[in-house]
Structure 1
Amino acid sequence: MPLNKRTLLKGAAAALLIAGSLATSFAPARADTLPERFKDLYEAAKKEGSVVFYTSYRQETSTQVLEFWRKNFPDVKLNIVQKQTLDLIPTIEAEKAAGRTNPDVVFISQRFILDDWKKRGYLTPYKVRDFGKIGGNYKDADGAYLATAATLLSAAYNPKAFPDKSVLPKKIADFLDPKWKGKIVFSDPQSAASQLTWFQTLLAHKIITWDTIKGFAKQDFLFTRGNAESVRLLVAGERDLSPLISSQNVITAKEKGQSIEAYILEDGVVTNENYLAIFKGGPNPTAAKLLEEVLTSAEGQELVANTGSYIPTHPDAKTPEGLPKLADLKIIVADQDIGGEASTKFLEQFDAVFNRQ
């Protein structure tokens, strides 16, 4: 299943789309605009005047969200703190330990962390207007958090090396065939959270075993620091395929005209969901609700999906062209403790298998 984002408009048309029409781009398909829909909440949020958003968005996504927000809700300032999820978590923990709650809303990809924060009373349950439309797998039943975006952790290859993709591995176990030795690139789970998520999830669901990982160790993997570097090596022809590269990185490379394709293995695909949650005791509780309403809406999810190469969870939000809908996929749910004690034990055993002591 090739993944390919729609061809971007160029020149003046692109400038108008990105800089001039974000506030109205969704209007023709819907009866009301977001400022109209959330008028009462916006009026109340004006009294607070700002909202603090801790997010793991990419820079280009943050930029577009800021522009969109300014056009639609100019009287409430949106302050964004942008970091990777595994950096945001300790930042928030340190602030809480110091007795501070700085963010109003957070966007991170680790569900088990949000479950822990919910138990510890850090989060304010809030059921947005479209709460009932979002599938049960993508939300906390009490409204403590809600997934608004997902990426695919799928296989990838260089089509110049394999013009006939029917010869590619169809299942994870197929990558153990000796004919692929020395041809596989893979981001190191020690430095790449998506690869760590992939391994732990597949082990938990018994799709692979440690014998599978021992088989990988015999295949002369070329390890990289992250998905972007793996893409670069595939495109350059230094390696030919990978059992896992994040769909975001593949799409970004394809937009630049680079030779890379992603595809779904028969075992299914691990998705990496990103969740929104409101912090209890945050400085702007009403503005926090407004921000969550906007970002969970179909319009908000479409904006983020198109600028960040995500798949939206809202059924009324359009999926970027070339990306599959979540409902059409065999999803392997990533519900493991990523980054905690289980990850530490996994990485120790992984290094031992690959003789990296």
Structure 2
Amino acid sequence: MMTDAADRTKPTVLVVDDEAGPRDALKVILRPFFNIRSADNAQAALDILNEQPVDLITLDQKLPDRQGIDLLQDIKHDHADIEVIIITGYGSLKSAMEGIRHGAAGYLLKPFNVTELITLINQTLDKKRRLDFIREFLHSSSALWGNEQDSARAWEAFRNGYAAIGNPSHEESPAGEDTRDWLPLLSDLLEAKDRQLLNHSSRVSFYATLVANRLNLTAAEQKSLAMGAFLHDLGKTSLPAYRFADDQILPSGEAASCREHPDIGARMILPLGLPAEVGQIVSYHHERWDGKGYPHGLQGEGIPFLARIVCIAQAFDHLTAETPGRSPLPIDDAVRYIAGQAHSQFDPQLAALFTQVITECKASLPAMAIATAPSRVSEP
């Protein structure tokens, strides 16, 4: 009875590997710490996931009935709360990095030692506990995007609960004292809603920063631009069934899952004490140069300057992002689209600068953009 009770408190790990030797070795290593299930092909793994709860999967990339990356995409689509660690040989490192983009929490290169394996699994399970807490909080409370007073109380409860679980932000400090104090929670908040939303937000911040390097911005403006670009879609965390891959792309090149998300996001960050420029970016990143944008119909230089940069960066990423079920535009075509929308959708001077920067960086752009997403689980 004692053993059964202890087993019920252990996380469950599913080992997916078509080779009996490595599969059995992982089972022997992990069994003292976790409840273990195993599968030797993709279909068997899916059957287990549909029949019983699983916390984490170790996934080999080569399976007899399909590629591991394809199975990973199915898992993250239908079981987004299950974390996946890719086990790979050095020759497949590029595929492992591709897996990170599609939602894997981390990877291990063969051969690995037992300590490295257990450490990564425990770090990933710690992360899962944080994300599960956030998902439940979002499900049970809408106060984060309510009025300012309710939102401030909700953020306090949210941050205290997050800290009680254990998170990478280490020290407590008053809201707004240092925006870096909010980054671990805000990053996890985006990921808890949709890993692809986090990746999109990271890439948009990266593209905006590329442009900022060519502009005469102060250090404070550059910091606000990077933060605002990262949080521009924060309001989408309020949508119950949001998926980044399902964001409809309009003929204008803009995503249109919720035209209210800029206002919702701006309300959400009010209690955080972030610079005003961050809130402006969140509020106005879908305004258009010709005044036909939303939610306020601002026009031309009436749109805050930093928001105009993020408007271009987020549109470019929606056009070029590789996500399940969506065919991205080649970079050259996306650049032509941005240039063609100068004077209508985009600030013409910023559009010209953006296309110049992207064209100059084109050869290394995909690798640099991918590098903005987390590749391994961070030390807690």
**Which category describes the TM-score, using the shorter chain as reference length?**
under 0.3
Q: Which has the higher strand share?
A: 1
Higher helix share: 2
User: Which structure's relative contact order is higher, taking Cα pairs within 8 Å and 6+ residues apart?
Assistant: 1
- State the TM-score, normalizing by the size of structure 2: 0.25
